Amino acid sequence: MEFVTTCHQAYAALWRFLAGIDLVPWIEYEAAVDEPLPHLLTDPRAVRSTQVDRLWVRLVDVDRAPAGRRYATPLDLVLDVEDSFCPWNTGRYRLQADGDVVACERTHDPAGLRLTSTELGAAFLGGTTLASLAAVGRVSELQPGALARATSAFRGDREPFYPGGWAFPAY
């Protein structure tokens, strides 16, 4: 049903084992967008994937959630957040990140980006980029360069992935 490895060598060895089992014409599995398996194969086209929506994030404490993660690059940015579902989130927040030191606090300073909590939640795990959301009009850049800085800072080392099997209600 699921396998997890601690290193690249174990990952490759496990796939070699699974692919080498006799009488198995195919293996069906769910994978992250940036799954490394195709790069292990002689013919990467032998792997087919389907994108599935399974992981949705709803930030209910905009002042606490962004401070609880780490960022790929240093960032000092004011976000103007609108949230009609959780109105206590509506407001401006200064997000400051430098290594392990991260803070997100309310402010009256001018904002660099305007977005809703939906877009902030989409970018929170580092998969969906703020730049892609801005390209379709869901994030507004209010200060030149703010979008590029935020997009770089929010990126993760891997695409977020939830393998499925469980559904959690959004409360």
Range of the structural domain that residue 22 is part of = 8-46
106: in domain: yes
138 to each of 94, 117, 134, how far by Cα in Å?
20, 11, 5
Name beta bridge partners: 93. Answer: 79, 106
* Interval 43-68: pLDDT, tens: 777 777 666 666 678 899 998 999 99
* Interval 107-120: pLDDT, tens: 999 999 999 999 99
Alpha carbon distance 154, 129 (integer Å): 8
* Interval 21-36: pLDDT, tens: 887 777 777 766 667 7
Number of domains in the chain: 2
Residues 72 and 42 in one domain: no
CATH number, residue 145: 3.30.1050.10
Residues 30 and 84 in one domain: no
